[in-house]
Every structure is written in structure tokens, then in C-alpha cells.
Amino acid sequence: MTMVIGLTGGIASGKSTVSNMIREQQIPIVDADLISRQVVEVGKPAYHQIQEAFGSSILNEDETINREKLGSIIFQDEKKRYLLNSIVHPAVRKEMLQQTGMAKRNKERAVVLDIPLLFESKLTQMVEKTLLIYVDENTQLERLMNRNSYLKEEALSRIQSQMPLKEKVELADEVINNNGTINETRQQLNRILEKWL
């Protein structure tokens, strides 16, 4: 049986780092962010729906969607964020289910669904176990400011648009504390995978 694991975290919590560690163990990853970019490529059904909903001002010269422009619109307007999600999420879920099905057919020991908004989007029914990558608020803020060259206010508003990591801790089956070194993170991951698999 293929175990379906949901991997989640918050912005700048180190989820990509852990995701890469899982890949190194030859466990396939179904990446919701990557899929959410693919389903809005020019010509895809979701692309046309987004263009209709938000107008052509959100397009780049090459007709692709300008993610920065669209992002700044939906960060300031909850209704528009909801509208965008109602277009993108179903398309992403469909593709994720197809990739999960492929892993099961290939009899993989596990498949990991990397879903940033696993709890917020109520997608836990897609997985058997949930794994949260946790960092404390100061570490998260510092890493985000360093990684994206954000000012403090900008970084905070991005962090505060998500469910706080300490609330997600209550919801997760297992938590990796990613405040320490890469080695400490890897050890925690290996321990959890051994237990589950």
C-alpha cells in the first residue's frame, strides 16, 4: 500500500528544504505550487477563467499571467482572493489526484502531497498523515525578509495572511521543528518516515 502523506508549513518555514530531502529518498512529491503554476499556463481552462475574472491588465506582454500583479490584487481583497481560489483550486486538486493515482499504480511506498494550505483549504481528506514544518515567528520573519528582500511590514503581512504555524501544530500528525540545523531537520524527517513506513 502506498501511504499518502500531506506536507505543509508556512511561508519561509523550510518546506522546500524538507521536500528536497524527501525526494532524495526516492519518494515522489506532488507539488501543489508547481501544479498551480501549470494549470494557469496560457491556453489552459483556468487561464481563460482568470483572464475573464481579472481582466487583461494582469497579463504580461507575452500573454502569461503576471503573478506579482495578481498577487498584489488578491492580497488586498478577500473577495478577489476567494474568486481566484475558486478557479485554481479545483484544477489543482484534479491534477494532484491524478499524480497520486499514478504513484499508487507504480506501487510506491509513499507519495507526498506538498500543499502549503493543507489545513486552510481543508484538503486533509486527500492524505492519510500530515507532516508540518514548523519554525517560530521570529525565525519565519527573518528568513522571509532575507529570502525575498521584503521590508518587515511586507513580510509580516504575507505571514499574517496565513494560518499561524502554532495553530497548525495542533492539527498535524507529526511536526518537524526547523529552527535548528539542516542535520537536525533531516534526523527528525528520517525518524518520522521510519515510523510511518
Could you list the residue range(s) of the whole structural domain that residue 78 is in? 37-107
Average per-residue pLDDT for the chain: 95
Do 75 and 172 sit in the same domain of this protein? no
Query: 57 falls in which pLDDT band (50, 70, 90)?
Result: very high
Q: Is 91 annotated as a binding residue?
A: no
Closest C-alpha to 194, from 7, 25, 16: 25
**pLDDT digit string (tens) for 90-99?**
999 999 999 9
Counting the structural domains of the chain, the total is 2
* pTM, entire model: 0.87
Do 51 and 116 sit in the same domain of this protein? no
Q: Is 14 annotated as a binding residue?
A: yes
The C-alpha cell that represents 48 in the structure block: 481563460
**pLDDT digit string (tens) for 102-132?**
999 999 999 999 999 899 889 999 999 999 9
CATH code for the domain in which residue 71 is found: 3.40.50.300
Q: Is 13 annotated as a binding residue?
A: yes
Q: Is 12 annotated as a binding residue?
A: yes
Query: 43 falls in which pLDDT band (50, 70, 90)?
Result: very high
Do 55 and 70 sit in the same domain of this protein? yes
The percent of residues in the chain predicted with pLDDT above 90, rounded, is 92
Q: Is 2 annotated as a binding residue?
A: no
How far is Cα 146 from Cα 125, in angstroms, rounded to an integer? 35
Do 100 and 62 sit in the same domain of this protein? yes
Given 78, 107, 136, the domain boundary residue is 107
The C-alpha cell that represents 69 in the structure block: 500583479
The C-alpha cell that represents 180 in the structure block: 535548528
How large is the average pLDDT for residues 24-50?
A: 96
How far is Cα 127 from Cα 112, in angstroms, rounded to an integer? 9
How far is Cα 34 from Cα 76, in angstroms, rounded to an integer? 23
Q: Is 100 annotated as a binding residue?
A: no
